[in-house]
């Protein structure tokens, strides 16, 4: 059943509240609306000890809004690191006076025929820590403060056609919703590692992609396919190397050589990391469920395989970052290493890589258009 007009999130994110970690206030060029500039000047808002301009002209030809200036440490000039790590605008004028980018971060919002779906960017340390909580991986109604009072900004697909099942054939929204829910339920399985869960989702998806109008409802096909799927049927040899190659190409010139391929990655992973550490699989399953829920790729790609390739790439970046960390600093890895790897992954996948460009780059994975 379609959810209607309410806002929804995953239970692991439902209790999100800003803890003032400050990650979003450092090294970001935040666009600012004219109303925010007016409020700052009218109320003479300024961090103590900060002189000079508070805003700078944009150099982005696609977004001419001014940017908030940064100090010599790279911090936002309104970020009061030494007085509670608070934002001066937020503290003195309220959340409604913040730039839209600040008010929404770390929320990633999708609006479609099902309602408003809210996920989080785990670049935020508070959000990253939530991946390791014992909360179930289930969809629940979103409440404040996660759900903002003002109209929420994100990808608005309310009037768009449903996502593609495969090139040339649309899902119906009920069928797509059933597939997304079944995928999240699979990642919620505590009896399987994240890779086995992914194999189940991939195997079921291949069966679902073969659906044709007249074969019963798509939702029924989803139910049967996931019920019959077995781990291993969706294995994709070379997927890690392909994913890292994709990220290396899409971030060339922006992240140095961080994604140089690792020869014999699986062997290196087993040698350096082996059985990982307590909480790794739960964290990875929650992470993949969070990246599946409310994902934008569904409306930007050419089918369900593209969404799975997005998830594969997210997982590959986390694993790549973990292996790099243990090679540089040595074992043992712990939950803090996992959270930093996830933060790096979401910084790339949600804030550096253009998801529309990603979808075009991997389009060939979908195969030819249906007749």
β-bridge partners, 169? 166
Is residue 276 predicted with pLDDT exceeding 80? no
> How confident is the model at residue 52, as a pLDDT?
86
pLDDT in tens, 280-317: 899 999 999 999 999 999 999 999 999 999 999 999 99
SS3 (DSSP) at 67: strand
**pLDDT mean across residues, the chain:** 89
Supply the DSSP string of 269-328, one letter for each residue.
Answer: HHHHTTT--TTHHHHHHHHHHHHHTT-SHHHHSSSHHHHHHHHHHHHHHHHHHHHHHHHH
Tens of pLDDT, residues 44-102: 999 888 888 899 988 877 777 899 999 888 889 999 888 888 899 999 998 889 999 99
Region 123-147: what's the mean pLDDT? Answer: 92
Work out the average pLDDT over 219-244.
83
Task: Kindly give the residue spans of alpha helices, DSSP state H, lying in the chain.
Answer: 34-42, 88-93, 100-104, 125-130, 173-187, 194-209, 218-228, 239-250, 265-272, 280-292, 297-300, 304-329, 335-346, 355-361
Question: Where are the domains positioned within the chain?
Answer: 7-18+103-156, 28-102, 164-366
Q: Which of 225, 253, 243 is nearest to 165 (CA)?
A: 225
**Residue for token digits 């970690």?**
21
- pTM of the model as a whole: 0.92
DSSP state letters, 211-244: --TTSS-HHHHHHHHHHH--TTTT--TTHHHHHH
- What distance in Å separates the CA atoms of residue 237 and residue 1, rounded to the nearest whole number? 36
Q: Which residues pair with 70 in a beta bridge?
A: 76
């Amino acid at each position: 059943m379609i959810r209607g007009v309410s806002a929804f999130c995953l239970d692991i994110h439902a209790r999100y509240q800003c803890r003032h970690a400050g990650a979003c206030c450092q090294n970001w060029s935040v666009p600012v609306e004219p109303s925010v500039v007016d409020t700052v000047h009218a109320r003479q808002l300024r961090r103590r000890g900060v002189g000079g301009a508070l805003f700078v002209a944009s150099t982005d030809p696609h977004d001419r809004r001014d940017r908030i200036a940064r100090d010599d440490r790279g911090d936002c000039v309104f970020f009061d690191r030494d007085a509670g790590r608070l934002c001066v605008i937020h503290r003195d004028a309220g959340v409604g006076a913040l730039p839209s980018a600040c008010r929404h971060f770390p929320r990633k919002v999708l609006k479609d025929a099902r309602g408003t779906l809210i996920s989080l960017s785990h670049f935020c340390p508070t959000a990253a820590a939530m991946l390791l909580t014992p909360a179930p991986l289930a969809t629940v109604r979103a409440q404040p403060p996660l759900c903002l009072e003002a109209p929420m900004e994100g990808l608005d697909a309310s009037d768009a056609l449903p996502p593609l099942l495969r090139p040339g054939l649309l899902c119906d929204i009920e069928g797509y919703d059933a597939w997304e829910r079944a995928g999240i339920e699979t990642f919620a399985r505590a009896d399987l590692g994240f890779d086995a869960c992914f194999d189940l989702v991939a195997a079921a998806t291949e069966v679902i992609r073969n659906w044709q109008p007249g074969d019963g409802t798509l939702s029924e096909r989803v139910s049967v396919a996931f019920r019959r799927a077995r781990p291993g049927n969706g294995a994709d040899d070379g997927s890690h190397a392909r994913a890292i190659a994709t990220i290396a190409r899409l971030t060339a010139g922006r992240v140095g050589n961080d994604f140089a391929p690792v020869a014999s990655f699986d062997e290196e992973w087993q040698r350096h990391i082996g059985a990982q550490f307590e909480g790794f699989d739960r964290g990875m399953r929650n992470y993949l469920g969070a990246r599946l829920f409310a994902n934008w790729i569904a409306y930007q790609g050419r089918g369900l395989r593209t969404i799975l390739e997005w998830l594969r790439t997210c997982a590959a970046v986390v694993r790549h970052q973990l292996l790099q960390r243990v090679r540089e600093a040595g074992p043992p890895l712990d939950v803090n290493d996992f959270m930093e790897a996830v933060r790096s992954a979401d910084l790339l996948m949600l804030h550096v890589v253009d998801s529309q460009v990603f979808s075009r780059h991997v389009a060939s994975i979908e195969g030819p258009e249906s007749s």
